[in-house]
Amino acid sequence: MEFEWAELRESCVIEEDAAVLALNKPAGISVTGERHDSDIVEAAAAVGETLYPVHRIDKVTSGLVLLAKELGAHGQLTRQFNKQTVEKAYLAIVESTGLPDRGVIELPLSVGRKNRVRIAAPRESIRERAGRWFVDDADLLATKNYPSTTQFTTVLRTDTYTVLAVRPITGRRHQIRVHLAWIGHPIVGDPLFDKSARYDRTYLHSWQLALAASWRTPPTLTLQATPTPDFWHPLHPTPDPAALLQHADTLLHTIESPLPQPNSPHPPKAAC
């Protein structure tokens, strides 16, 4: 997607100070590393503005992206992402029903053919018990795998779609998209799993971030990116976005404590 940096910057800025710039990124624009199209970092550099990505969200994902304007802040913030101490929340719309009110997906990821992210076990070995999806260690593929945990709470159900508020405890590439698809609830319009081209975008949105920022008073950075109206297009009738987001924010607090676990020879691993 081609875009003018000055126009995007002005229309999408959420928060800015001397050290950071936070944007509400449209779907279809890359943060950095785009081979065949413009990306945010490259577009800014072309007009003399240097930005350092603190984290990345996928090109097809809309919403909150945090960039540093100087290296000191970049180092402080990226360390928190690496240590998995950042509070992150996403919104997702899945074209399916039947998910529980709360759930946790503890499925390790691996990289398969053509650099595609997948679950590090056969699909048929995935088990679900009391809102927890997992695989036994004996079913893991003989390849390098990365422990990955995604928590979610159900915000809204319709006859066809479900809206989720999602916390990726680990921050693996494509984690939310792969986790939801492999348990049978792919994100609407996700090109990794839906080749029908029925939808104009992928309905995954980076919604909230909270992390420490020592140069600020108080020394925290709490950010939220409101989805643009197109995010709600699959839902009929269209919900009241403000009320739905308030409901989602309330529900997120219910997944901050671990789910009660059933008796199992394979208890959940700690997030790493």
Active site residues: 58
H helix intervals, 63-174: 71-82
Q: Any bridge partners for residue 127, and if so which?
A: 134
Q: Which backbone phi and psi does 32 adopt, to 5 degrees?
A: -160, 165
Burial class for 243, CB neighbours closer than 10 Å (0-12, 13-18, 19+): exposed
Cβ 92 vs Cβ 154: under 8 Å: no
Cα–Cα–Cα angle for 158, 159, 160, nearest 5°? 90
CA distance 239 to 156: 9
Q: Look at the block and give the residue holding tokens 């399916």.
A: 96
Q: Look at the block and give the residue holding tokens 């990124």.
A: 25
Tokens, residue 4: 């003018």
